[in-house]
């Protein structure tokens, strides 16, 4: 294929793409292109776009370096109020110049360009630059995840009105070279916002997404972040009282009742932010589930109020002899069972109480049982086998997450083998294998109301499932890289996902659309946790921890990095006053969540006290080090005792 013909071919391909037959024929005749050449016309999308837009400036590799240097000087010399916003332009321009140089086969120039300006990009871009640096040839753009993302999507840069007009003036002055204008036109989406230019800290707080910041429009949708009205309040007292009668403890019921009512009273009758109860069809509660709920409420009435002055006790469960094999852990809601997923595909479930784990009787024996009997649930369990630990086999790859359902009868697990398995905790067997994800499934979570669950995987999607369907109900796609973690909103209407593209997104389960996109993380997000009230979302990445306000989609607080390794566990205390984070650096840190939210709300109200210096002391309550045991799971019991799980990695 001759060099000259390339643009023509590109035009031809474009015409064909839009099915403009007539023009195509005319062009072919005029340019006297043969059919043969036409047949093997298969330019990659990326290249096609570049050729069509800028083929005339492609020739001069030196213009890039010159243009970039100009832009940098312009930004450095601009006023401080514009400077920091404008500087977010540098990175995408740099990346696209590099890719353009590679695309036009100026490999050596590209290398020089990279060496010269790569190191001066923001520190949080360096990780990406390392990955991009692997691309050294035109053909490799196709194979590189990152390069593809950059060339097929637009990078979002937010500028204030003044800053953008500054930029426009600058671009007009640059008549000699259209390189930057081309790049900004084709690859960068400049979002103009009203209001003053932002400070360095503000810019930094939201920078870091793989494709720049979130646009404001994306976060306009209203999110019903309030909690559901408890549907079972009316139903509850009856079973609870039954329970108490069974126990026959004469003086206790009175006290409990009083406190219980207190708890009910606390909930606002109708939260304006709460979604209607029937927005998402929720399963009817079974009789046993109601009993479980009643127990939970009774326990809750006994819980300790936590705060900066009354810190929780922490019980640490150390997994001995597990080395690096233990991957994930979960503790069920009533804190009686501990599940651990291992890299050798097995799952182990321990009981944390003296109550042993029992299996169900065999089918023949079950037939003999009187199904009408009141204690049928007890009778159907085997009496002989009583273990403190049971192992579940079935997966064929490392198990990346295990979760107990809210009612302690089932367990979900996801694995590298791209399947999700549902296990029964009564028969101790696998009930369903959910297939759908293409590659590894990184995370799985139950809806707080059961029935639904959500998964996230390497295939860049998160999927919503129901236990009675073998196919996903919703597929949430939009992340640019792996979806590393998911979390259900406490009202079951929303799902939050965290990804390697360094964004946190919130999806509506009803419509399957993305309602929030939040940028600011500088690294992969490994874990998410919703606050008890449903308004805040905490996300943990590589040593960084951010709390988001779901109502606006903006970061509520940037917690100064105290951890030194990826944070893999987050838990809110049951009264929502304390946030605990556990990291691979063997530390558990307790944060004063009340202070965090108060500050966020205060900032919103405009009383923006300059407290950045004090921050570290302000939020951090205490850190607890373990003995060389990276934290893999955190869980607050209903009485606000913190349970932590880690695996001891030897004294080396």
Partner 1 sequence: MGDSEFAYGSSMSVDSMKVIAESIGIASLGDDAAKELADDVTFRLKVIVQDSLKFMHHSKRQKLSTTDIDHALRVKNIECQYGFIQPDSLPFRFASGGGRELHFVEEKEVDLTEILYAPPPKIPLDVSVRAHWLSVDGVQPTVPENPPPLSKEAQKLESVDPISKLSKPTNKDAAGKPMCGKAARLKASESVHVKQLATHELSVEQQLYYKEITEACVGSDEGRRAEALQSLACDPGLHEMLPRMCTFISEGVKVNVVQNNLALLIYLMRMVKALLDNQSLYLEKYLHELIPSVSTCIVSRQLCLRPEMDNHWALRDFAARLMAQICKTFNTSTNNLQTRVTRLFARALQCPSQTNNETGVGPSMVTTMKESEKTPLASLYGAVQGLAELGPEVIKVFILPRVRWLGERVEGALSGLGGADRLAAGNLKHQLLKVLAPVVRQLRQPPDLPDEYKRDYGYLGPSLQHAVGKVRASPAAGGGGGAVAVVTCTPPLVPAPPPPHVSHLAHVTHAPKTVDTMASRSMVISASPAPQSPAPSTPPPQKFVIVSQQKPPQTQPASGAGHIVVHSSQPTIVRSQNVQSVVVTSGPASGAAPAQKVVVVGVQQPHHHAPPAPALVSQAPVSVVAKPVFARGGTPQQPPELDDLSHLA
101-130 residues in contact with partner 1 (CB under 8 A) are 114-115, 118-120, 126, 129-130
| Least distance in angstroms from the C-beta of 204 to partner 1 | 18
Nearer to partner 1, 10 or 132 (CB): 132
Q: Which residues contact 125 (CB under 8 A, 6 or more apart)?
A: 91
Nearer to partner 1, 474 or 568 (CB): 568
Residue 227 makes contact with partner 1 by CB under 8 A: no
| Least distance in angstroms from the C-beta of 316 to partner 1 | 4
- 464 burial via Cβ count (<10 Å: 0-12, 13-18, 19+): buried
x/- map, 545-584, partner 1, by CB under 8 A: --------------------xx-x---------------x
| Alpha helices, DSSP H, located in 90-189 | 90-103, 107-117, 126-133, 138-143, 145-152, 161-173, 179-187
| Alpha helices, DSSP H, located in 418-553 | none
Exactly one of 187, 198, 260, 348 binds partner 1 (CB under 8 A); that residue is 348
- 380 burial via Cβ count (<10 Å: 0-12, 13-18, 19+): middle
Residue 458 makes contact with partner 1 by CB under 8 A: yes
Residue 133 makes contact with partner 1 by CB under 8 A: yes
Write the CA distances from 139 to 51, 215, 467, 516, integer angstroms.
16, 32, 44, 35
Nearer to partner 1, 155 or 400 (CB): 400
Contact region with partner 1 (CB under 8 A), list: 8-16, 80-88, 294-302, 317-325: 317-325
Residue 588 makes contact with partner 1 by CB under 8 A: yes
| Least distance in angstroms from the C-beta of 457 to partner 1 | 10
Question: How many positions of this chain bind partner 1 (CB under 8 A)?
Answer: 79
- Please report, in angstroms and rounded to a whole number, the separation of the first and last CA atoms in the chain: 61
Q: Give me 284's structure tokens.
A: 């009817």
x/- map, 139-168, partner 1, by CB under 8 A: -x--xxx-----------------------
Exactly one of 8, 235, 314, 466 binds partner 1 (CB under 8 A); that residue is 314
Q: Which of 305, 403, 420 is nearest to 349 (CA)?
A: 403
x/- map, 389-408, partner 1, by CB under 8 A: --------xx-x--------
Residue 189 makes contact with partner 1 by CB under 8 A: no
Distance of CA 462 to the CA centre of its chain: 10
The footprint of partner 1 on residues 289-308 (CB under 8 A) is 308
Q: Which residues contact 73 (CB under 8 A, 6 or more apart)?
A: none
| Least distance in angstroms from the C-beta of 353 to partner 1 | 11
The footprint of partner 1 on residues 426-455 (CB under 8 A) is 439-440, 442
Contact region with partner 1 (CB under 8 A), list: 190-198, 213-221, 337-345, 532-540: 337-345
**Long-range contacts, 257-266 (Cβ 8 Å, 24+):** 259/301, 260/297, 260/298, 260/301, 262/301, 263/297, 263/300, 263/301, 264/233
Measured distance CA(496)–CA(485) in Å, rounded? 8
Tokens 């029992």 correspond to what residue? 358
Q: Are strands 419-424 and 430-435 parallel, antiparallel or unpaired?
A: antiparallel
| Least distance in angstroms from the C-beta of 399 to partner 1 | 10
Residue 79 makes contact with partner 1 by CB under 8 A: no
Nearer to partner 1, 289 or 443 (CB): 443
The footprint of partner 1 on residues 500-539 (CB under 8 A) is 500, 524, 526
Residue 336 makes contact with partner 1 by CB under 8 A: no
Residue 339 makes contact with partner 1 by CB under 8 A: no
Measured distance CA(343)–CA(396) in Å, rounded? 10
Nearer to partner 1, 145 or 173 (CB): 145
Exactly one of 51, 223, 274, 328 binds partner 1 (CB under 8 A); that residue is 328
Write the CA distances from 543 to 63, 202, 520, integer angstroms.
40, 20, 13
Nearer to partner 1, 119 or 605 (CB): 119
x/- map, 363-392, partner 1, by CB under 8 A: ------------------------------
Rg (CA), the chain: 29
Q: Which residues contact 68 (CB under 8 A, 6 or more apart)?
A: 93, 94, 97, 113, 117, 180
Residue 350 makes contact with partner 1 by CB under 8 A: yes
| Least distance in angstroms from the C-beta of 326 to partner 1 | 7
Exactly one of 17, 55, 137, 365 binds partner 1 (CB under 8 A); that residue is 137
Residue 44 makes contact with partner 1 by CB under 8 A: no
Total length of the chain: 652
Measured distance CA(528)–CA(521) in Å, rounded? 12
| Least distance in angstroms from the C-beta of 146 to partner 1 | 9
Exactly one of 13, 78, 182, 322 binds partner 1 (CB under 8 A); that residue is 322
x/- map, 462-501, partner 1, by CB under 8 A: --------------------x-x---------------x-
Nearer to partner 1, 405 or 416 (CB): 416
The overall longest dimension of the chain from CA atoms, in Å, is: 100
Q: Give me 457's structure tokens.
A: 């995987």
| Least distance in angstroms from the C-beta of 526 to partner 1 | 7
Q: Which residues contact 335 (CB under 8 A, 6 or more apart)?
A: 352, 635, 637, 638, 641, 643
Q: Which of 116, 33, 145, 19 is nearest to 479 (CA)?
A: 145
Contact region with partner 1 (CB under 8 A), list: 206-214, 291-299, 310-318, 491-499: 310-318
Nearer to partner 1, 330 or 416 (CB): 416
Q: Give me 270's structure tokens.
A: 């109708």
| Least distance in angstroms from the C-beta of 134 to partner 1 | 4
């Amino acid at each position: 294929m001759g060099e000259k013909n390339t643009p023509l071919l590109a035009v031809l391909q474009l015409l064909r793409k839009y099915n403009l037959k007539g023009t195509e024929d005319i062009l072919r005749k005029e340019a006297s292109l043969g059919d043969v050449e036409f047949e093997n016309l298969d330019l990659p999308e990326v290249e096609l776009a570049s050729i069509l837009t800028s083929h005339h400036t492609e020739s001069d590799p030196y213009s890039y370096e010159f243009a970039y240097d100009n832009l940098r000087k312009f930004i450095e010399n601009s006023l401080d109020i514009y400077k920091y916003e404008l500087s977010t332009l540098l990175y995408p321009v740099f990346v696209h110049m590099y890719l353009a140089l590679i695309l036009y086969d100026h490999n050596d120039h590209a290398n020089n360009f990279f060496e010269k300006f790569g190191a001066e990009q923001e520190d949080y871009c360096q990780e990406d630059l390392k990955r991009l640096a692997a691309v050294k040839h035109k053909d490799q753009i196709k194979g590189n995840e990152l390069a593809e993302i950059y060339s097929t999507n637009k990078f979002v840069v937010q500028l204030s009105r003044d800053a953008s007009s500054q930029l426009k003036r600058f671009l007009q002055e640059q008549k000699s070279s259209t390189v930057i204008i081309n790049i900004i036109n084709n690859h960068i989406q400049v979002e103009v916002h009203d209001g003053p230019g932002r400070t360095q800290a503000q810019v930094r707080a939201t920078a870091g997404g793989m494709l720049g910041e979130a646009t404001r429009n994306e976060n306009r949708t209203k999110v019903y972040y309030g909690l559901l009205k408890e549907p079972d309040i009316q139903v509850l007292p009856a079973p609870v009282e039954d329970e108490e009668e069974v126990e026959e403890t004469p003086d206790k019921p009175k006290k409990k009742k009083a406190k219980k009512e207190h708890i009910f009273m606390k909930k606002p009758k109708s939260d304006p932010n709460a979604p209607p109860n029937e927005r998402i069809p929720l399963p009817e509660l079974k009789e046993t589930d109601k009993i479980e709920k009643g127990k939970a409420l009774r326990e809750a009435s006994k819980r300790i109020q936590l705060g900066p002055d009354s810190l929780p006790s922490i019980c640490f469960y150390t997994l001995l002899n597990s080395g690096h094999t233990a991957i994930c852990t979960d503790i069920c809601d009533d804190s009686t069972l501990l599940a651990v997923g291992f890299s050798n595909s097995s799952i182990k479930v321990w009981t944390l109480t003296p109550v042993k784990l029992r299996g169900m009787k065999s089918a023949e024996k079950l037939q003999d049982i009187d199904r009408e009997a009141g204690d049928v649930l007890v009778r159907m369990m085997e009496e002989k086998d009583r273990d403190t630990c049971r192992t579940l086999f079935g997966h064929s790859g490392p198990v990346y997450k295990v979760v107990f359902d809210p009612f302690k009868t089932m367990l979900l697990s996801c694995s590298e083998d791209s399947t999700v398995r549902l296990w029964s905790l009564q028969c101790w067997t696998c009930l369903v294998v959910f297939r759908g994800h293409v590659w590894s499934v990184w995370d799985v979570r139950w809806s707080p109301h059961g029935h639904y669950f959500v998964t996230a995987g390497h295939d860049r999607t998160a999927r919503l499932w129901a236990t009675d369907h073998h196919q996903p109900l919703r597929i949430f796609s939009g992340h640019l890289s792996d979806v590393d973690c998911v979390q259900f909103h406490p009202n079951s209407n929303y799902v939050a996902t965290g990804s390697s593209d360094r964004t946190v997104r919130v999806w509506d389960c009803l419509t399957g659309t993305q309602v929030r996109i939040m940028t600011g993380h500088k690294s992969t997000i490994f874990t998410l946790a919703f606050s008890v009230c449903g308004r805040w979302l905490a996300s943990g990445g590589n040593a960084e921890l951010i709390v988001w306000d779901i109502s606006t989609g903006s970061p509520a607080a940037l917690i100064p990095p105290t951890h030194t390794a990826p944070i893999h566990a987050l838990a809110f205390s049951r009264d929502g006053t304390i946030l605990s984070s556990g990291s691979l650096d063997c530390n558990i840190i307790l944060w004063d969540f009340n202070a965090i939210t108060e500050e966020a709300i205060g900032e919103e109200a405009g009383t923006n006290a300059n407290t950045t210096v004090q921050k570290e002391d302000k939020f951090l309550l205490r850190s607890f080090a373990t003995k060389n045991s990276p934290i893999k799971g955190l869980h607050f019991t209903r009485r606000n005792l913190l349970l932590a799980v880690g695996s001891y990695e030897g004294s080396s």
